[in-house]
Structure 1
């Protein structure tokens, strides 16, 4: 999370938002009212819309879609932050987990999300912050010893894929995981490898799972009787 975050007032000029984005290299600026409460956000996308609509214009026709077109005109042409900002704002609580924040970013197709506590802005999380968190995963979360890694891999297979511990034989030596057993598709085989690789402390996976086609053979149509 980036904190503290530079904010902008809703009555300020769009040029100020551009200055903040260029100076902080954060692609969004939270907008606050006179009491310091967040009321909106201005993103790079909001500002790029001004560029894309700057080449010429035609009179807005008096058609059924005139109201929406007028709203878009104001958002793309006004220099007042209140007119340009996106509101209401999608935000995350300070207590939210990384996975919850990631779900919000993906579900809303946004790149930045403000973090609030007691309705006050305390920081900003971007997609880049989440990528950095994945790379900088604390070493304390790494399973210690082969037995601990084996237990963690089995738990991951069950939690992520619904695979019971007895369904796949799992062994670990010097951090190298070996998977043995039978699965019903190559996708399930690859998914088991990925699940094992996700466990902290795993140095590699030897995937000896064999693909069987019992399910496919059961689905074959019966021969026609003459």
Structure 2
């Protein structure tokens, strides 16, 4: 699935010359997390989000340092912080370096950008112009569309058992064939040994994701970490 399939469009935007008050009111009225800043020609100038409103002089939340540290930090950084805390226009406080993606970007690429850059929204840009935006809410909607519906699929017990075993075999954490699987009218029972409690939940999840499984019974035994004794 690609970004263009799930992105929100049209996008609520704000101009670079808009006031901070206008941007804040727009965000609250539309209940959105961020506002792409777009020039008259449709190109992206920046983005303004909750973080850009955190350290404001009006709230008394601007960054304050001891005098000695101000000397170390230098006038350039201090001047930039003053603008962010006291600026009146969007172009004075916005984030200018926008992390964006093309319409054909995969969802894996979008999530990668969000994770690596610690952001919640990725503007979608084509030929330099904003065409959409992918938010975490868009990803949640996409997930909901592809999640299997409970009880939507049926399968015989033998097929379920084979499929659960196959799924476990594909996973490096499953200890090969140490986890046993039995199935009775769609209810899977997991037995055998695991060596880390985190494997228990993973095994249950692996079984739950097999088509036709109605319930999973956990009868796994945790033997603790493997110990190897060398005999000389």
Is this a same-fold pair by TM over 0.5?
yes
Tell me which residue corresponds to 1:121.
130
Tell me which residue corresponds to 2:12.
6
Tell me which residue corresponds to 2:203.
192
Distance (whole Å) between structure 2 residues aligned to residue 51 and residue 172 of structure 1? 64
Of residues 101, 116, 125, the one that matches 2:110 is 101
Distance (whole Å) between structure 1 residues aligned to residue 175 and residue 64 of structure 2? 64
Distance (whole Å) between structure 1 residues aligned to residue 57 and residue 171 of structure 2? 44
Tell me which residue corresponds to 1:91.
100
Moved more, 9-18 or 71-80: 9-18
| Relative contact order higher in (CA < 8 Å, ≥ 6 apart) | 2
- Asked if residue 78 in structure 1 is aligned to residue 87 in structure 2, the reply is yes
Distance (whole Å) between structure 2 residues aligned to residue 99 and residue 57 of structure 1? 36
Q: How many residues align?
A: 220
Distance (whole Å) between structure 2 residues aligned to residue 173 and residue 132 of structure 1? 34
- CA-based RMSD of the aligned residues comes to 3.6
Q: Deviations over 1:103-139 (max 9, x none)?
A: 3323322222222344432322222333343344354
Tell me which residue corresponds to 2:71.
63
Q: 5+ residue gaps in structure 1? A: none
Of residues 179, 183, 187, the one that matches 2:190 is 179
SS at match of 1:49: coil
Instruction: Evaluate the alpha carbon distance shift between residue 155 and residue 123 of structure 1 in structure 2; reply closer, same or farther with a 3 A threshold.
Output: farther
Distance (whole Å) between structure 2 residues aligned to residue 213 and residue 194 of structure 1? 20
Q: Deviations over 1:26-82 (max 9, x none)?
A: 110011223211121100221233267546898996623122121111112111211
Q: 5+ residue gaps in structure 2? A: 1-6
Q: Which runs of structure 1 show a deviation greater than 6 angstroms over 4 or more consecutive aligned residues?
A: 55-60
TM-score normalised over the length of structure 2: 0.74
Tell me which residue corresponds to 2:30.
24
